[in-house]
Amino acid sequence: MVKKNYKPRVFIILIFFLILYLIILTRFLLLQVHKKDFFENLAKQQYETELQLSPPRAKIYDINKEPLVFNFDVTSAFILPRQFNEKEKTKKFLKKHFKNVYDKIFDKNKKFLWIERNLSQERLDWFKKFDLKDIYFIDEPLRFYPFNCMSTIIGFTDIDNVGISGVELAFNKKLAGVASTVRLEKDARSGHFYFEKEILQEGQSGKPVQVTIDSKLQFLVYEELKNTIEQHEAKSGSAIILDPESGYVLAMANYPDFDPNKKNLENIENTKNRVITECYELGSVFKTFTALAALEEKVTTSDELIDCEGKVAYIDKFRVENWKSTGIVPFYYVVQRSSNIGIAKVAKRLGPKLYEHLTRLGFGKKTGIQFPGERDGFVNHPKNWSKPSVITMSFGYEINTTIMQLAKAFGIIANGGYDFEPVLVMPEMSARAHNKLYSDNAIIDIKNILQNIGKVYNQGLQDYCVMGKTGTARAIKNGKYSRLDHVYSFGGIIEKDNYKRVIVTFVQEPKGAGLWASQVAAPLFNKIAQKMVMQDLVCNHRVLRT
């Protein structure tokens, strides 16, 4: 029997497995060493994504440190187009329900896409019933505004929590802080939840902003303004309360306004803070400042007799009409009676100096308040004057002004003739000293004149010194002065000892023939003033008890 030799076969098998082992070993080395970065990146693409997460937006407070905005978390849905697990199923869902998102998934540069944000519980449940592994959910902050009466001041943010109007816009960077860049990893147990794995770049929290507005007073002013606008079926209206010593704006209301919690706004015009962003010709309220200029320049005195010539007169061949027939009266009565003829005669003595005083009071330039969209206004320069310009300017035409500028001008009278800047956001430093613009004698005289007018509008305010002036002006329609539509204003000052407040009210184009500011803007001033002093008395009483 011949003995078989198995050694060659064993050797061949050994060589075979050795080669196979070397191939596998080489393959492992290629995978784990040479292509390590490739597979790590592939894993990261499947289980990781990077996001910029903003810190909670800082709060906005009123003058009493009451919060005016709140933050809360809402759930939003998103997809990672380069990491689909159920590609066809997800594409079918997106094509049917979110065509705009579906069209974007084919862009190779899109690694992250929002599907829908700020989901209600009902909407969240709707998403989850489809049980799609490629739809993920994450919590993100949302801004909530509890006070509609503050909407035109505070403004609002967009869906990304970026300020787009009001204080939210003006102080967006301060409130928003700096976003953190984070890497998020998908939990292997559930494709619908992400957790923070690593902070790639540390963010920075936003800083709060405190406004000078008293939210309780703001609500009271807003309610009175709203009632007046609705009662007279007016186009719009505004009101402001100013502390003339500090410059603090304590209330600033506009109506109609808007709901800042609704992102789909019906009328973008209603988001404007018209006290600051809109200009008007306001009429006879400007006789206050013509009179102040005349008294300061000593071209007249309070008791000088002025011939107002009845109902109609021609000054430099320009027809001027009084609203009511007036004869020879003292200058203080010219202002009190609101005689166009009388004030125009005195303005003629001023000439170009009238322009100098109007700009000195702040008309025709921004007040410096920290609010987006503030208008300069316009005061016709003497080089552009026509023959009757100084006449018409004396009673408020050829002058476009904001309600804020008007409030500032009355504030200069109220504080004794000192310049100041209106303040809406609490300053980090104490206010600087301001220049005195008018002499004590001129301020005393104009206050006495305004007090004689204010006595008519001091109902419920007998313990206070009430000063003020009405303004009625024709509205401009299609580039022409309307005979039917008017704007009405009242600029007033409330004083008692060291207590001083300026209130300006404005009503645009109310319905009704033959109306005057004394019937529209002045009653609104009185109602606001009564609510204001009651509110301040309650607050002072509370402070004393504390």
pLDDT digits (tens, 9 = 90+) for 441-463: 999 999 999 999 999 999 999 99
Q: For residues 388 and 396, what is the distance between their CA atoms, to the nearest angstrom? A: 13
Terminal Cα distance for the chain, rounded: 122
Residues pairing with 116 in the sheet: 77
User: What is the per-residue pLDDT for 117?
Assistant: 87
User: What is the per-residue pLDDT for 5?
Assistant: 58
Nearest to 523 by CA among 465, 459, 473: 459
Look at phi and psi of residue 443 and say left if phi exceeds 0, alpha if psi is from -120 to 50, else beta: alpha
Residue extent(s) of CATH 3.40.710.10 domains in the chain: 215-545
Q: Regarding the domain delimited by 215-545, which CATH topology (the fold level of the hierarchy) does it fall under?
A: Beta-lactamase (3.40.710)
How many C-beta atoms surround the C-beta of residue 532 within 10 A? 22
User: What is the per-residue pLDDT for 91?
Assistant: 87
User: What is the per-residue pLDDT for 477?
Assistant: 87
| Low-confidence stretches of the chain (pLDDT beneath 50) | 42, 188-193, 541-546
Contacts 24+ apart (CB under 8 A), 114-123: 114/76, 114/77, 114/78, 115/77, 115/78, 115/79, 116/76, 116/77, 117/74, 117/76, 117/77, 117/159, 118/74, 118/76, 118/142, 118/159, 119/74, 119/75, 119/76, 119/77
Residue extent(s) of CATH 3.90.1310.10 domains in the chain: 50-69+145-181+198-211, 72-141
Q: For residues 510 and 229, what is the distance between their CA atoms, to the nearest angstrom? A: 7
Helix, strand and coil percent figures for the chain, each rounded to 5:
40, 25, 35
CATH class belonging to 72-141:
alpha beta
User: What is the per-residue pLDDT for 543?
Assistant: 41
The CATH code belonging to domain 50-69+145-181+198-211 is 3.90.1310.10
Residues counted in the chain: 546
Q: For residues 544 and 496, what is the distance between their CA atoms, to the nearest angstrom? A: 18
User: What is the per-residue pLDDT for 254?
Assistant: 98
Query: Cα separations (Å) of 462 from 419, 469, 494?
Result: 29, 18, 11
Predicted confidence (pLDDT) per residue in 88-118, tens digit: 888 889 888 999 988 888 887 887 888 988 8
Location of structure tokens 């990491």: 83
Q: Is residue 251 within 8 Å of 241, Cβ to Cβ?
A: yes
User: What is the per-residue pLDDT for 413?
Assistant: 98
User: What is the per-residue pLDDT for 483?
Assistant: 87
pTM for this one? 0.84
Count CA atoms closer than 13 A to 76's CA, side-chain side: 17
User: What is the per-residue pLDDT for 201?
Assistant: 65
